[in-house]
């Protein structure tokens, strides 16, 4: 389900004309762990039918790449779930622990579904 290479995921989304979901998390974030356990493993998310490229970025390490990603994505907290439509426009930003329904609504919005 998850891509972990950002350039490859972005290229695939652009090439295939698909929305891109970016989940930014860290192993030291209790909310990130809860999202993995409660949201990303939920059957409603796993079987949702909207074609999408899902990118998971681990920001656990304190590296220059981590700092760049915090700045590029305008992060204030982790986890963060950011959803882009097929044209690369941000359509949803979910900060912190969110629900399955919020994630599914963001995916539908990115795909242009009501």
Q: What is the pLDDT of residues 55-96, one digit of tens each?
A: 999 999 888 788 888 888 888 889 999 999 999 999 999 999
Q: State residue 67's pLDDT score.
A: 83
pLDDT at 63: 81
The reported pLDDT for the residue numbered 114 is 62
How many structural domains comprise the chain? Answer: 1
Give the chain's mean pLDDT. Answer: 92
Question: Domain holding 102: CATH number?
Answer: 3.40.30.10
What pLDDT, on a 0 to 100 scale, did the predictor assign at position 99?
96
What SS3 string covers the chain?
A: CEECCHHHHHHHHHHHCCCEEEEEECCCCHHHHHHHHHHCCCHHHHCCCCCCEEEEEECCCCCHHHHHHHHHCCCCCCCEEEEECCCCCEEEEEECCCCHHHHHHHHHHHCCCC
Residue 35 pLDDT: 95
Q: Provide the domain limits for residue 10.
A: 2-110
Specify the pLDDT at position 5.
94
């Amino acid at each position: 389900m998850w891509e972990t290479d950002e350039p490859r995921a972005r290229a695939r989304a652009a090439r295939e004309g698909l929305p891109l979901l970016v989940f930014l998390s860290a192993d030291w974030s209790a909310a990130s762990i809860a999202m993995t356990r409660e949201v990303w493993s939920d059957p409603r998310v796993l079987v949702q039918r909207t074609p999408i490229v899902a990118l998971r970025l681990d920001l656990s390490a304190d590296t220059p790449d981590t700092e760049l990603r915090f700045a590029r994505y305008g992060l204030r907290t982790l986890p963060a779930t950011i959803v882009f439509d097929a044209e690369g426009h941000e359509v949803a930003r979910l900060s912190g622990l969110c629900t399955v329904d919020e994630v599914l609504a963001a995916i539908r919005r990115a795909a242009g579904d009501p």
